[in-house]
Homo-oligomer: A and B are copies of this chain.
Amino acid sequence: MDQKLKSELTRQLILNESFKLFYENGFKTTSVDKIMKATNLTKGAFYHHFENKKALALAVIGLKLQKRVYEAMVAPLYGSGDALEILKTIFSVRLKSFTVYEKQHGCPTNNFINEIGDHEVAYQNALKRIIEEWKSALVYVLDRGKTEGSVRKDICSKSVAVYLISAFEGVRGLRKLYDNDLILDEYVSGLSLYIKQISA
């Protein structure tokens, strides 16, 4: 029972270092060699745990990215509290509380989407799952707001969800170009206007 544990630990180590390097340098330009150098293991270990680099990418997307987005952007939407307040918190407070490192490198999921979202169906589906889960949670909280009377009933929840996600991912990309938070402040101000519009 010790071997299984240590093996799983190694797998997680590879996944963690991969995520980090993919995030900092991109997926396609991060080699297996670089990853294994970061883990202090060798290629033998890598190809024992993963069939190839594509399998690693799918694991990083399905495990690391999906989990991160779920914890940061999805789970809070299922919490209690005023629907619109939750939205404001998720999309603005969270954004400003990112570290410089996170602001500089953007959204890990969005980076993957833009880098390999048009390459393989397997990648598309894995990434799509993350977005759809997020979108569903947004629709849920918007619908709840409707029944509770805080959100206008004549708006399309799905459309608002897509627009919110789009703007968030968009600005996380744009922020890479700057060395200050001005664009984030403007985004937040633009967002608050949008939230006012959907409020009843």
Task: Give A contacts to B, CB under 8 Å.
Answer: 26, 28-29, 104-106, 110-111, 113-115, 117-118, 124, 127-128, 131, 155-156, 158-171, 173-174, 176-178, 183, 186-191, 193-194, 196-198
Contact = CB atoms under 8 A, between A and B. Distances in A.
B113 A111 contact: no
A146 to B, nearest CB: 14
A165 B175 CA distance: 12
Interface SS majority for chain A: helix
Number of copies: 2
A191 B163 contact: yes
A177 B29 contact: no
A172 to B, nearest CB: 8
A110 B170 CA distance: 9
Nearest to A158: B186
A77 B186 CA distance: 20
A180 B169 CA distance: 20
